[in-house]
Amino acid sequence: MPPQAIYTFKHALIQDAAYSSILRKRLLDNHRTIGECFEKQFPQIVESKPALLAHHFTAAGVTDKAIQYWETAGKRSQASFANIEAQSQFENGLKLLATLDESPERDQQELGFQLPLGTVMTMAGGWANPAVEKVHLRALELCQRIGEGSPIFHVTWGMWAWRLLRSELDIAHTLADDVLSLADGRDDGYLMESCFSQACTGLFRGEFEKALEYFEKGMTLYDTDRCQFHAGITGQNAGCTILAHWAWGLWIAGFPEKAIETGRRGVELGKELKDPFSEAFAVYHLGCVYQHCLMGTEARECGEAAIAIGQEQGFGIWLALGMLCRGSGLVLEEERVERGVELVKQGFDIFRGTGAELSLTHYHTVLAEGYMASGRLEDARQTVDAGLDFVERCSERFHESNLHRLKGEILLAVSEDNGGAAIAEFEQAIEIAKRQKAKSWELRAAISLVQAQKNDPQQQSQACDLLKAAFQAFTEGFDTPDLIEAKSIIESRS
């Protein structure tokens, strides 16, 4: 009812016919009159529906106002995680900006669109989305033209994240150093973001001590408001993302209880901030910690939670990785191994479809374990070999030790005649883990080595000494499956 009445055409074709019958000048005037009427008489519409005004001023040829409202509309959509709508609105604004003469002011305006465009494209299609590189390169060009005062830090951070997710780790390593350098002299919020880039790159390169150092330093710099400011540009809250990856690093370093506690803190922070993207980020990574701890039910439940958020919010990346996490849990639960394997494959096919390859070594280990559990030993062997090839090609050494351990387990499962080759793989796994100071990988490889030496009491005794040393390095987590098994083996040989 008036004054809130809405009038519609009975059929869209009638509307089209009526619209096309209006002379162009009259049409432009009408759109302009409508836009100005909204501005003067309906402030609630200006506030709630900036895209409507952007549409009318675009159609009226009032470019300056149209650009203003497309930017406002895009940022409003971005804030509510309506990323597809936001992308369209930012792109509409950029089309209009392209019609203006080049100037420093126009470059500055364009950056106001390019930065959030890259963010919403990332959130909708994943960090490694091939189309995002073009946005980053254009933003970098604009920063270089503007010079001092440009958002070069966040543009470089975006380029780092893009390279990292494509597992171009050597390039990502260089860009992470650039991010750290650009944070110099700025407030602690910038330093926190740079700590994340350093830590995350180090984690996947197998530089675990470095990663833990930067994760811890980053969280000491946490401030809610500063973090929210940067999250508005990067699309993710660094508090959540640091806690999520820190949990991985803590498990590798031999602190399973702290790893789970830290991962849970990341999930709780995401919920507290009402940030579904960062919450899904933390939920997925907590699921991976559970998977590393061999806690299948908990891993599956985290995967299901990530899938639910991904479906509700349209986050394709978390839908894909949630499938992987759920699948890994099913493999560990042993009741639906084949279904788990299919989910892992499906999730990573979708993940790789976004252009991403980061953590493929994790995928190879989970899939190989699933194949072994279902008796598909040749598939398991091929998967592990592909994982080791990936390690050398991309320098992603996060699962390097575990891949060698799994190769040894597969060799033994194929035939006990492969004992010598399997033992060599276990010894290499231990050597790598010691070099990386990865206590959990070392313990798991030592368990495999002891079990492989069952026909040689002297060699088994020496292997048991290695297992004892690895076990004694732990100060917590004694109720987790790996440590329970290690303790049982040690006691049985005492």
pLDDT at 100 over 90: yes
pLDDT of residue 441: 98
pLDDT of residue 153: 96
Task: Decide: 295 and 258 in contact? Cβ < 8 Å.
Answer: no
pLDDT of residue 174: 97
pLDDT in tens, 265-285: 999 999 999 999 999 999 999
Instruction: Give me the residue label for tokens 């070999």.
Output: 385
pLDDT in tens, 314-337: 888 899 999 999 999 999 998 889
Instruction: From 253, 313, 255, select the one nearest 283 (Cα to Cα).
Output: 313
pLDDT of residue 348: 86
User: pTM score, two decimals?
Assistant: 0.89
pLDDT in tens, 177-196: 999 999 999 999 999 999 99
Mean pLDDT of the chain: 94
3-state SS string for 407-430: HHHHHHHHCHHHHHHHHHHHHHHH
The encoded tokens of residue 89 equal 């609105």
pLDDT interval class at 122 (50, 70, 90): confident
Q: Per-residue b/e over 196-233, b at no fewer than 16 CB within 10 Å? A: bbbbbbbbbbbbbebbbbbbebbbebbeeebbeebbeb
Q: Is 274 exposed, middle or buried (0-12, 13-18, 19+ CB in 10 A)?
A: exposed
The encoded tokens of residue 178 equal 């650039």
pLDDT of residue 80: 86
pLDDT of residue 354: 86
CA 482 from chain centre, in angstroms, equals 27
pLDDT at 307 over 80: yes
pLDDT at 70 over 90: yes
Amino acid at 362: H
pLDDT interval class at 41 (50, 70, 90): very high
pLDDT of residue 262: 98
Q: Which residue has the higher pLDDT, 386 or 353?
A: 386
pLDDT at 115 over 80: yes
pLDDT at 127 over 90: no
Alpha-carbon gap, residue 231 to 203, rounded angstroms: 22
pLDDT in tens, 408-429: 999 999 998 999 999 999 999 9
pLDDT of residue 101: 93
Q: Is 17 exposed, middle or buried (0-12, 13-18, 19+ CB in 10 A)?
A: exposed
User: How many other CB atoms are there within 10 angstroms of residue 387's CB atom?
Assistant: 25
Decide: helix, strand or coil at residue 255: coil
pLDDT at 403 over 90: yes
The answer to whether the Cα torsion of 407, 408, 410, 414 is positive or negative is: positive
Decide: helix, strand or coil at residue 121: helix
pLDDT of residue 457: 86
Rounded to an integer, the average pLDDT of 143-158 is 93
pLDDT at 493 over 90: no
Task: Decide: 429 and 387 in contact? Cβ < 8 Å.
Answer: no
Roughly how many angstroms between the first and final C-alpha of the chain, as a whole number? Answer: 86
pLDDT of residue 139: 95
pLDDT interval class at 455 (50, 70, 90): confident
pLDDT of residue 386: 96
Alpha-carbon gap, residue 121 to 138, rounded angstroms: 15
Alpha-carbon gap, residue 156 to 418, rounded angstroms: 49
